[in-house]
Amino acid sequence: MRPSIRIASGQGFWGDLLNAPVDQVRKGPIDYLVMDYLAEVTMSILQKQKLKDPALGYARDLVPLIAEILPDIVSRGIRVITNGGGVNPVACRDALFDVARQKGIHGLKIGVVRGDDILLNVDELMASGATLANMETEAPLSSIRNRLISANVYFGAAPIVEALQQGAHIVITGRTTDTGLTLAPMIHEFGWSMNDWDRLASGTIAGHILECGAQASGGNFLADWKSVPDLAHVGFPIAEAFPDGTFVITKHHGTGGLVSEATVKEQLLYELGDPTSYITPDCVADFTTIRLEGTSPDHVRVWGIKGSPATEFYKVSMAYHDGYTAVGTLTYAWPDAVTKARAADRILRIRLADLGLSYEEIRTELLGLDSCFGPRSVEIADPNEVVLRIGVRGQNRDAVERFGREIAPLVLTGPPSVTGFAGGRPKPSEVVAYWPALIRKSLVSPIVETATL
């Protein structure tokens, strides 16, 4: 058993800093690189891509990234874990094997975790007793079944551990919990039992700190963002983990950003509901037991975490088609910019009503005035300009499209001093809605496969 391992966060979401994983690999010692690419809506996007082309459905940014760092991770024995496989981890694996061939690298073993994609099995699962009712509204899945786009089970760390135990240098998963990416190497390296709830909770919380990338090392830091040095070259966080479940959050020396008690505490509050019951497939972690302290610059030690047994359910992330939306903008200049923008909004709404058009929602914002704080905004007397941003949402695509045709006429038939209309009429785009549900673990099983080039 190693005395400690260094697990580096490389991506907080699909679209994060492209050079972050490269820096994590090249700017200091690490043992594992973990990269989180998936969000709830991402799965539906990837599912659509796969339906158009069976070779797609994964985070395509992952392939050129691995192409750049593959010689480094092979020579230094760094293992990579990522959920960038999306809804097609096998195709992602094959694309990475192609990269390895091009670079003349042999003996690369890649593990794939699949089985989370249950879209084609929904009816069969419901017949087996899975209600898949909405966790928040308790509405039955039958109410949106014919509009379902994607359905993915959140697996935990266990199948990743299995792939690591089979010798995988790279592990590609589908919809796995963000925390499981970090917990898995701890279980594997330290031989933790899958019912050692305190240690599993500790690894889970380490994963929660790493999952949003630089948000734990000074990015998006609300408490004192001005104190963060060199955000242009921010270093992503690293968890140095120990067999007893303690860990230290740090970053590579010489990189920008900041790791402090405050940055770590802010990240701990991210997407947190009941702090005593943070539920994952692996355990239930109690955030109120966390103890932490800054031990030196850019080093925060975390310990004392308590956990309890996992539940009998997996969470299921589903997405469905829920109509269309379109959004348009116009800029109104001084003087009376706010008055002009509000008049334009009123005129547009009257015209839409005159046409007999109705929508589930019409939303108006004045960027620079009330778009963030709404009715709690502080009125600005006479700003230089404001941007009128107005959007509609509804089930009728034709009605949404007609809204887009009514924006441009405001330029010559509405208040004066208007600019900023470019790019053509706003076109309808599909609304993808989220449907969270639960499913008994006994009804689905992850599939772990490893292959060697």
| C-beta contacts of 58-61 below 8 A and 24+ residues apart | 58/84, 58/85, 58/86, 58/87, 58/88, 58/89, 58/91, 58/92, 58/95, 58/172, 59/14, 59/84, 59/85, 59/86, 59/92, 61/14, 61/15, 61/18, 61/37
Cα gap 367→387, rounded to integer Å: 5
DSSP state of 234: B
Please determine, for residue 422, whether its predicted confidence score (pLDDT) is greater than 80. no
Q: How far apart, in Å, are the Cα atoms of 120 and each of 124, 151, 177, 369, 410?
A: 9, 9, 21, 46, 47
Please determine, for residue 244, whether its predicted confidence score (pLDDT) is greater than 90. yes
The band of 47, judged by pLDDT with boundaries at 50, 70 and 90, is confident
The band of 59, judged by pLDDT with boundaries at 50, 70 and 90, is very high
Cα gap 390→365, rounded to integer Å: 6
pTM of the model: 0.95
Cα gap 14→18, rounded to integer Å: 10
Burial class (CB within 10 angstroms; exposed 0-12, middle 13-18, buried 19+) of 254: exposed
Both structure tokens of 30: 């690490």
pLDDT digits (tens, 9 = 90+) for 303-343: 999 999 999 999 999 999 999 999 999 999 999 999 999 99
Q: Which of 60, 53, 43 is nearest to 149 (CA)?
A: 43
Q: Beta strand pairing status for 5-11 and 32-35? A: parallel
Q: Which of 270, 249, 269 is nearest to 259 (CA)?
A: 249
Please determine, for residue 441, whether its predicted confidence score (pLDDT) is greater than 80. yes
Residue 79: per-residue pLDDT: 98
Task: Map tokens 């690298």 to a residue.
Answer: 105
Cα gap 280→156, rounded to integer Å: 7
Cα gap 300→323, rounded to integer Å: 46
Residue 41: per-residue pLDDT: 77
Residue 269: per-residue pLDDT: 96
pLDDT digits (tens, 9 = 90+) for 212-242: 999 999 999 999 999 999 999 999 999 999 9
Nearest-Å Rg of the Cα atoms of the chain is 25
The band of 57, judged by pLDDT with boundaries at 50, 70 and 90, is very high
Mean pLDDT calculated for residue range 180-184: 98
Cα gap 414→434, rounded to integer Å: 38
The band of 356, judged by pLDDT with boundaries at 50, 70 and 90, is very high
Mean pLDDT calculated for residue range 416-420: 94
Q: What is the mean pLDDT of the chain?
A: 96
b/e for 280-312, b at 16 or more Cβ within 10 A? bbbbbbbbebbebebeeebebbbbebbbbebbe
Q: Of all residues in the chain, what percent are helix, strand and coil, respectively (each to 5)?
A: 35, 25, 40
- Provide, rounded to the nearest whole percent, the portion of the chain with pLDDT above 70: 100
For residue 106, what are the contacts with CB-CB under 8 A and spacing of at least 6? Answer: 100, 453
pLDDT digits (tens, 9 = 90+) for 255-307: 999 999 999 999 999 999 999 999 999 999 999 999 999 999 999 999 999 99
Please determine, for residue 425, whether its predicted confidence score (pLDDT) is greater than 80. yes
Q: Which of 211, 179, 218 is nearest to 305 (CA)?
A: 179
Cα gap 441→446, rounded to integer Å: 10
Q: Which of 198, 178, 199, 177 is nearest to 190 (CA)?
A: 199
Helix (H) or strand (E) holding 434: strand 429-440
Cα gap 67→374, rounded to integer Å: 46
Residue 43: per-residue pLDDT: 85
- As beta bridge partners, residue 110 has 170, 451
Please determine, for residue 40, whether its predicted confidence score (pLDDT) is greater than 80. no
Find the helix packing angle between 89-102 and 62-76, rounded to 10°.
60
Q: Which domains does the chain have, with CATH numbers?
A: 5-116+154-311 (no CATH), 322-434 (3.30.70)
Q: Which of 294, 304, 231, 223 is nearest to 259 (CA)?
A: 294
Cα gap 228→263, rounded to integer Å: 10
pLDDT digits (tens, 9 = 90+) for 114-134: 999 999 999 999 999 899 999
Cβ distance 137 to 151 under 8 Å? no
CA atoms 392, 394, 399, 404: torsion sign: positive
